Structure formats: C-alpha cells, structure tokens
C-alpha cells in the first residue's frame, strides 16, 4: 500500500490514539504491519491500537457501529450506538493496576428497557440524571446473564437533548411468595422466609460514597441456611425467629443471599426449633445443581476424576494464585512458592461437582505430605507426584464440606474440610433389606 492510501487510516488511528503516538511513528508501525508482515489493514489497525492504546478495554476498531435499542442488546456487541436516558448515574474511584482511576457508572434506558453502563474514560461531559444522550461506540458484555454497556477509550457520549424518551414503568414484581430456605435459588425476586437467626453482625460499609450500616448474618429453617444482609436496622438478634417479608435474592458467585431492602418487613414469630443442623448441611449434588450454591455444604461421593493442576503447584508470592509454567498470569516470571493441592470431580450418582482441596486436606486424604511430594519430585519429577496422588484418591469415597458456587460448567466447591468416607456396609445393607422386605 502506498503512502497516500495510508493517510485516511493514519488519520483514523490518530483520532483513536490521540497524542499517544506521533504521526511518523504511526506511519512506521503501519508500514511494518502491512509491508513487512503482510497483515491486512484491519488487523494492522487493531494491533496498533492494542499496542499504543489503553489496555483496559477489549474493543477493536471495526467499521461502522450499529444503533440498537436496549432490549436488542445481546451482550456480545463490539461496537454499538445506543440512544438512551440516564436513569441513575454515579462516579466511582476504582483501583486499576495499583493506580486509582475515576469511572462513571449507572443505569440507562430507552422505551424498550434498562441496562447498566460503565464509562471507563470519563471525558468532559457530565451525565445528568433524566437527560438523553447518544452513547457511541459502546461494547457490551454479559455479567451474571445480564448485559452491561461499556464505553472504553473509543466511546463517545453526545448530548441528544432534542430526543424525548419515555421509559417503561419499573415493574413491581408480583406478591411476595413464601419459600423454604433450601429452595432459594438465584434470580428470585420477592420472597418471604421464616427462620431462626443463627448469627448476626453489624458492619460499616461505604456504598456510593455514603457510610452505611449493614446487619448481616445467617438465618436457617428446617431445609437450609442462607446469608442475609439487612440495609436497615430491624433490631435483629441472634437466636430469635423471624418472618421476613419482601426480601430479594441476589447471588454472589452463585451463592444466593437474602437481601432485606427498604420494602422489607420483619416480624417476630414463635420460636422455630426445627432448623437444619448448621454444622451439617448435607446435600445431594442434584440438589446443589438446582440451588446453584451455598455455604458450608457437605457432599458425599466418589472421586471420579482428578484434574490437571493437582499435585505440586507453585503459587505467585504476590497474589497467591497458582502459576502456569513458572509464570504468574499477572506478575510474570516470579519465584513461586511450592504448594500441594487437589482438583477433583466428585460424583454421588445424582450429579458431579468440581472440588478444590487445599494442602492440609490433600495431605490428609492422600497420605502424601508436601515434603514427601517434593522428595519424590526431586527424584522422579513433578508429573510422577501428580500420578502418585491421583492413584491415592481416584475412586475413593469422600465427604467434603465447603462453599459451593456455580458457573456454566456446573457447581464447584472450595473445600474447607475433607475426609475419606467410611461406610457401615452391614448397617446400611440391613436397612435397605428391611425397607425392601417391608414393601413386598
């Protein structure tokens, strides 16, 4: 491509990158991509923006953007324009790569619906609640199955004062439905639960720049227990039995939590004595699959698979995350700290759950200590350790307890305690025999 033909592209890149790169350098870069490496022009532009632009956006320059209504957004848009009214807006300071950074986020909507948005590079324009704007070159992502609109360094916001827009009435969900705690799952709106307060604590938090007091703890009935957060002081005390009306469920990493907001009503009821043994919240994996997740759940089943990443691993000394091939994904080449862990799949015949077992419990379950594993690794290599450990645990029956969360690949548990299960064969077989005989 000759230089004259490059000019429009260079101009386009300059618009995007501003003063991050001068024209001469830009031309040289573009030449390198196009003439040395024979990359096509679109890929070349993408690459250059990647290299010189801000890295906290995953957008690419792709032709013209589309205009979409809020309800048409799928969460996979790379470049989309939205004309919408600001329903709610707030400025936040976050820490990105150790540097404090201002962002603007809130909710925008049009006549088809509302969606949350984030402006990662707030410019001069100050968004006013109730005003209509044109949000240009946005990209969308899915978070918890909900679309989020993002404006990165290419995003632009233009006032669209001339446009009048009516938003749909906020839908008030139907009457509150009574539900057992064991049946609570993600996404439920308005619920009423009755249970006993197992624990409660008062915490000060800062939400949207405001000091707030929340009361959080655990409440249980005969089917399960759940973490609650009360945003007002209902005078909740440990041990009392409550009927909580108009609470809503929000999930954190797949673990449902009971939120008591402004519309929530709390009344004292007769003491509930029949609550789950909170030290023993045993579930089948099928039940967990239906609920999504929960706290301190116990599962009994068989180890049917041992995944990659079991055995000796190295953790990054800065972030404690496991490293891959001697490098941390965020901190690069670091001197890792040796650790031992298991990543297994446990199956109880009703479903399968992934479980990550820490060093102590890995040592307990397999009888292989980190020290012994290191010894073995120094003689025969670390892959042998993985095989050794796999051999010790595969097809063994275990009981594990921990917090469970779910994603697209099903539920998984961070194990807090684990043991090899001992089955009283004679007792259980006799019980089955009695049951079968009685029914014949």
Partner 1 sequence: MNARETAWRVFATELNSSTLEIKATEEKMPSYIVSPLGAKINRILITGVLTEKENVGSEEEPMWRGRIQDVSGSFFINVGKFQPEASAAIADIEAPCFVAAVGRVRSYTTDDGRTFITVRPEHIVKIDEKQRNEWILETAKSTWKRLKDTKRVLSMGDATEKDLVDAGMSPVEAFGITYALDNYGQMPDSALYLKTIQAALRMLLPDRNVDLGFPEDMSDEPDEIELPENGQQGNNAAQLEDMILDLLEELDTDGKGAPREELERRAEDMGISSIELEEVSNTLMDKGLVYEPNLRYLKRI
340 membership: H or E segment, kind and range: strand 337-347
Figure out which of the listed residues 25, 55, 320, 350 binds partner 1, where binding follows CB under 8 A: 350
Enumerate residues 223-242 that contact partner 1 by CB under 8 A: none
Q: Is 54 exposed, middle or buried (0-12, 13-18, 19+ CB in 10 A)?
A: middle
The dihedrals phi and psi of 344, each to the nearest 5 degrees, come to -125, 165
User: Distance from first CA to last CA of the chain, Å, rounded?
Assistant: 86
351 counts as binding partner 1 under rule CB under 8 A: yes
Contact 134, 81 (CB under 8 A): yes
Figure out which of the listed residues 305, 339, 382, 388 binds partner 1, where binding follows CB under 8 A: 305
State in angstroms the smallest separation of the CB of 40 from partner 1. 30
Figure out which of the listed residues 50, 156, 364, 397 binds partner 1, where binding follows CB under 8 A: 397
352 counts as binding partner 1 under rule CB under 8 A: yes
State in angstroms the smallest separation of the CB of 304 from partner 1. 5
Figure out which of the listed residues 2, 99, 379, 440 binds partner 1, where binding follows CB under 8 A: 440
Instruction: Candidates 202-210, 219-227, 242-250, 301-309: pick the segment binding partner 1 (CB under 8 A).
Output: 301-309
Judged by CB, which is closer to partner 1: 69, or 307?
Answer: 307
Contact 376, 388 (CB under 8 A): yes
CA–CA separation, 310 and 4 (whole Å): 57
327 counts as binding partner 1 under rule CB under 8 A: no
308 counts as binding partner 1 under rule CB under 8 A: no
Query: x/- contact string, 33-72, with partner 1 (CB under 8 A)?
Result: ----------------------------------------
Judged by CB, which is closer to partner 1: 296, or 305?
Answer: 305
Figure out which of the listed residues 5, 201, 265, 286 binds partner 1, where binding follows CB under 8 A: 286
374 membership: H or E segment, kind and range: helix 370-380
Contact 134, 157 (CB under 8 A): yes
142 counts as binding partner 1 under rule CB under 8 A: no
State in angstroms the smallest separation of the CB of 141 from partner 1. 20
CA–CA separation, 359 and 133 (whole Å): 54
The tokens for 202 are 């008062």
Transcribe 392-421 into DSSP letters.
HHTT-EEEEEEEEEEETTEEEEEEEEEEE-
Residue 19: how many other CB atoms lie within 10 Å? 6
State in angstroms the smallest separation of the CB of 245 from partner 1. 25
271 counts as binding partner 1 under rule CB under 8 A: no
State in angstroms the smallest separation of the CB of 275 from partner 1. 21
Enumerate residues 404-433 that contact partner 1 by CB under 8 A: 408-411, 423, 425-426, 428-430, 432-433
Residue 323: how many other CB atoms lie within 10 Å? 21
Instruction: Candidates 183-191, 245-253, 285-293, 334-342: pick the segment binding partner 1 (CB under 8 A).
Output: 285-293
State in angstroms the smallest separation of the CB of 185 from partner 1. 13
CA 237 to chain centre: 31
* DSSP symbol at 151: E
Figure out which of the listed residues 296, 347, 382, 388 binds partner 1, where binding follows CB under 8 A: 347
State in angstroms the smallest separation of the CB of 247 from partner 1. 25
Torsion of CA 113, 118, 123, 127, to 10 degrees: 40
Size of the site for partner 1 (CB under 8 A): 36
- The shares of helix, strand and coil residues in the chain, as percent rounded to the nearest 5, are 25, 40, 35
395 counts as binding partner 1 under rule CB under 8 A: yes
CA 403 to chain centre: 14
Kindly list the residues in this chain that would bind partner 1 in the complex (CB under 8 A): 285-286, 289-290, 302, 304-305, 345, 347, 349-352, 354, 391, 394-397, 408-411, 423, 425-426, 428-430, 432-433, 435-437, 439-440
């Amino acid at each position: 491509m000759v230089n004259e033909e490059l000019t429009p592209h260079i101009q386009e890149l300059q618009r995007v990158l501003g003063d991050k790169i001068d024209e001469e350098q830009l031309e040289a870069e573009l030449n390198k991509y196009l003439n040395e490496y024979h990359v096509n022009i679109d890929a070349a532009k993408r690459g250059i923006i990647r290299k010189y632009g801000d890295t906290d956006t995953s957008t690419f320059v792709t032709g013209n953007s589309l205009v979409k209504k809020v309800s048409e957004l799928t969460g996979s848009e790379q470049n989309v324009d939205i004309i919408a009214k600001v329903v709610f807006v707030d400025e936040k300071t976050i820490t990105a790569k150790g540097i404090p950074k201002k962002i603007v986020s809130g909710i925008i909507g049009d006549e088809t619906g509302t969606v949350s948005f984030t402006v990662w590079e707030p410019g001069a324009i100050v968004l006013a609640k109730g005003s209509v704007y044109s949000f240009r070159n946005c990209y969308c992502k899915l978070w918890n199955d909900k679309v989020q609109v993002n404006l990165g360094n290419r995003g632009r916001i233009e006032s669209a004062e001339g446009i009048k827009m009516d938003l749909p009435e906020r839908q008030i969900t139907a009457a509150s439905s009574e539900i057992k705690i064991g049946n609570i799952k993600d996404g439920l709106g308005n619920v009423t639960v009755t249970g006993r307060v197992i624990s409660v604590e008062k915490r000060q938090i800062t939400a949207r720049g405001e000091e707030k007091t929340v009361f959080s703890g655990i409440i249980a009935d005969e089917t399960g227990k759940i973490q609650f957060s009360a945003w007002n002081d209902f005078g909740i005390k440990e041990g009392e039995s409550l009927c909580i009306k108009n609470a809503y469920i929000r999930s954190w990493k797949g673990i449902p939590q009971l939120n008591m907001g402004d519309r929530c009503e709390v009344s004292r009821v007769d003491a509930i004595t029949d609550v789950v043994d909170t030290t023993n919240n045993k579930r089948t994996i099928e039940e967990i699959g239906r609920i999504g997740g929960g706290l301190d759940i116990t599962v009994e089943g068989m180890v049917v698979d041992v995944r990659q990443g079991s055995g000796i691993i190295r953790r990054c000394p800065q972030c404690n995350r496991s490293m891959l091939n001697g490098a941390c994904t965020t901190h690069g080449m670091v001197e890792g700290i040796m650790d031992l862990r298991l990543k297994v799949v446990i199956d109880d015949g009703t479903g399968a759950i992934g479980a990550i077992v820490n060093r102590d419990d890995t040592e307990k379950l397999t009888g292989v200590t980190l020290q012994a594993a290191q010894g073995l690794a120094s003689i025969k290599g670390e892959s042998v350790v993985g095989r050794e450990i796999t051999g010790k645990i595969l097809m063994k029956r275990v009981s594990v307890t921990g917090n469970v969360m779910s994603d697209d690949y099903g539920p998984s548990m961070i194990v807090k305690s684990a043991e090899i299960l001992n089955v009283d064969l004679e007792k259980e077989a006799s019980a089955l025999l009695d049951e079968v005989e009685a029914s014949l």
